[in-house]
């Protein structure tokens, strides 16, 4: 950490030239954000979605510039971090947040805990919590009549801690943005640890999905990502116990980071899984003792409501069954078989990614756990096939270390799903997902063949016979 601050101070002090291109691109992103700010305040969702998608253009140019540069003008890192901060805090005043109402549940759960009640015991509309209702937060809580909270213990602790400073949207969003800024700090330390250019932080700092999800909507995924990045840092520092504990905390914000266990687990070293299990147990125990109902909350009902139980939400399953129907094969793939096969395929993807690393075909000297983590996060995100853009934000930290353009395209394209706020029906799921996933799969295919071609060329240059 000391070396990082020393390097940053040196770059700041020695800055004699302004990185004009980065300044221009940063101002372009800010200008588009200002336009989006106006659309958001007016509740104009479709124009807002278009602005978010357009902001990917200056962002992508900036990423290309950073990826291709061998030397950066003095002050480049300062400009990147400054605009990253400005883009976030500029959206905090947006209230109410039209892209999602989840933040109201966060505030409510914090309020319930402050009253000495387990958030898992009652739905917000329960008469036992009537004395906690108000005119600002309670009316905007989604599913308040029938859904217990879905959020695990670390998320609940965060809700309680943040709401002690104020039970308002602006306070909650400020806490979320501070966690997001902390993630940027940890990413800088990890980049420094891996001897990668600190300027690669731009892939996270300026990413439109991150900025709008955390600065505007204030989603709790920012806290999950912070713990994921901490787990990656501790893995780089060969501290498996802390890595396992951090990944457990990420999992107890949202359950999806559990997919990353195989990525950071080192064979025959039990400290990471032991710390993971111990942390899960310790953090769940107070809620288990204090709650009169299940601490799993609304999760099973959520899976049913979103269409996972019947398989509607799994895009790859729907594609497979559509193809079978197209070729007139009278078969339908069972959901259980699909999930089992997909989990096996995810493991295969991780092994393949690590093998490509050993072949020297992937870039930036990324450690194997980062390559596997990116593979797992992408595969899990596509498997879940959520309609909610913030479910894809956890892919983005890995892009600071691994150049994988299909994943970058995926994270830039998912704001299309914001359209579901006003025009999505369950019957549209397959068509809706196809707008994002088909371009992603096409680019993955092109990337795979280009990678294979590069590998064959490398083998020919070094005289390795073709297998």
CA atoms within 13 A on the CB side of 157: 13
With CA atoms as reference, report the closest residue to 260 among 394, 359, 168.
394
| Percentage helix, strand, coil for the chain under 3-state DSSP, each rounded to 5 | 70, 0, 30
Give the Cα separation of 132 and 123 in Å (integer): 12
* 195-212 tens-digit pLDDT: 999 999 999 999 999 999
Q: Residue range 426-444: average pLDDT?
A: 84
pLDDT at 15: 43
* 221-236 tens-digit pLDDT: 999 999 999 999 999 9
With CA atoms as reference, report the closest residue to 142 among 171, 108, 193.
108
Between 113 and 339, the higher pLDDT residue: 113
Q: Per mean pLDDT, which range of 49-63, 366-380, 398-412 is the poorest?
A: 366-380
252, 283 in Cβ contact below 8 A? yes
Give the Cα separation of 428 and 60 in Å (integer): 30
Neighbours of 12 (CB within 10 A): 12
Between 114 and 74, the higher pLDDT residue: 114
Between 418 and 204, the higher pLDDT residue: 204
* Helix, coil or strand: residue 185: helix
pLDDT at 70: 79
Is pLDDT of 182 > 80? yes
pLDDT at 63: 94
Per-residue b or e along 353-362, where b marks 16 or more CB atoms closer than 10 Å to that residue's CB: bbebbeeeeb
**Could you please report the per-residue DSSP string of 171-220?**
HHHHHHHHHHHHHHHHHHHHHHHTT--GGGGHHHHT-HHHIIIIIIS--T
Q: Residue range 51-79: average pLDDT?
A: 91
Which of the four pLDDT bands, split at 50, 70 and 90, describes residue 14?
very low
Q: Tokens at residue 41, please? A: 């305040």
Q: Per mean pLDDT, which range of 98-112, 206-220, 362-376 is the poorest?
A: 362-376
Q: Say which DSSP state 17 is in.
A: S
Q: Per mean pLDDT, which range of 173-187, 216-230, 331-345 is the poorest?
A: 331-345
Q: Tokens at residue 358, please? A: 């050993």
393, 365 in Cβ contact below 8 A? no
Average pLDDT score over the chain: 86
Which of the four pLDDT bands, split at 50, 70 and 90, describes residue 461?
low
pLDDT at 356: 56
Q: Per mean pLDDT, which range of 4-18, 245-259, 287-301 is the poorest?
A: 4-18
Give the Cα separation of 262 and 283 in Å (integer): 22
* 274-319 tens-digit pLDDT: 999 999 999 999 998 888 877 777 777 776 666 666 667 778 777 7
Q: State which of 2-11, 414-423, 441-450 shows the largest mean pLDDT.
A: 441-450
Give the Cα separation of 342 and 337 in Å (integer): 8
32, 57 in Cβ contact below 8 A? no
Which of the four pLDDT bands, split at 50, 70 and 90, describes residue 43?
confident
């Amino acid at each position: 950490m000391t070396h990082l601050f020393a390097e940053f101070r040196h770059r700041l002090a020695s800055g004699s030239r302004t990185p004009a291109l980065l300044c221009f691109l940063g101002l372009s992103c800010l200008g588009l954000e200002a336009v989006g700010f106006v659309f958001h305040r007016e509740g104009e969702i479709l124009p807002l979605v278009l602005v978010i998608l357009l902001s990917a253009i200056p962002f992508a140019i900036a990423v290309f510039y950073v990826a291709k540069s061998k030397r950066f003008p003095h002050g480049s890192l300062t400009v990147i971090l400054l605009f990253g901060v400005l883009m976030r805090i500029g959206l905090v005043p947006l209230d109410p947040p039209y892209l999602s109402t989840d933040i109201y549940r966060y505030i409510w759960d914090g309020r319930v805990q402050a009253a000495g009640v387990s958030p898992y015991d009652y739905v917000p509309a329960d008469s036992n919590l009537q004395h906690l209702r108000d005119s600002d937060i309670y009316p905007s809580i989604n599913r308040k009549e029938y859904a217990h909270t879905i959020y695990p213990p670390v998320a609940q602790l965060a809700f309680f801690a943040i709401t002690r400073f104020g039970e308002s949207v602006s306070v909650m969003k400020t806490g979320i943005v501070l966690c997001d800024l902390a993630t940027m700090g940890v990413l800088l330390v990890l980049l420094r640890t891996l001897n990668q250019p600190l300027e690669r932080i731009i892939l996270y700092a300026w990413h439109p999905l991150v900025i709008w999800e955390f600065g505007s909507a204030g989603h709790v995924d920012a806290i999950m990502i912070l713990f994921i990045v901490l787990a990656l840092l501790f893995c780089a520092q060969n501290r498996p116990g802390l890595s396992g504990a951090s990944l457990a905390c990420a999992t107890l914000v949202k359950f999806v980071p559990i997919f990353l266990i195989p990525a950071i687990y080192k064979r025959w070293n039990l400290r990471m899984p032991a710390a993971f299990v111990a942390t899960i147990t310790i953090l769940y125990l107070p809620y288990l003792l204090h709650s009169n109902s299940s601490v799993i909350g609304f999760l099973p009902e959520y899976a049913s409501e979103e269409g996972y139980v019947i398989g509607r939400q799994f895009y790859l399953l729907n594609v497979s069954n559509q193809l079978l129907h197209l070729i007139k094969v009278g078969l339908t793939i069972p959901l259980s078989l699909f999930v089992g096969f997909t989990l096996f395929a995810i493991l295969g993807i991780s092994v393949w990614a690590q093998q490509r690393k050993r072949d020297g075909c992937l870039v930036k000297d990324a450690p194997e756990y980062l390559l596997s983590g990116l593979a797992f996060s992408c595969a899990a995100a596509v498997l879940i096939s959520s309609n909610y853009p913030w479910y894809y934000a956890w892919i983005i930290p890995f892009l600071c270390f691994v150049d994988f353009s299909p994943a970058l395209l995926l994270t830039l394209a998912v704001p299309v799903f914001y359209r579901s706020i006003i025009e999505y029906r369950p019957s549209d799921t397959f068509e809706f997902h196809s707008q994002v996933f088909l371009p992603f799969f096409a680019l993955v295919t092109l990337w795979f063949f280009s990678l294979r071609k590069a590998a064959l060329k490398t083998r020919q240059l070094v005289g390795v016979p073709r297998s």
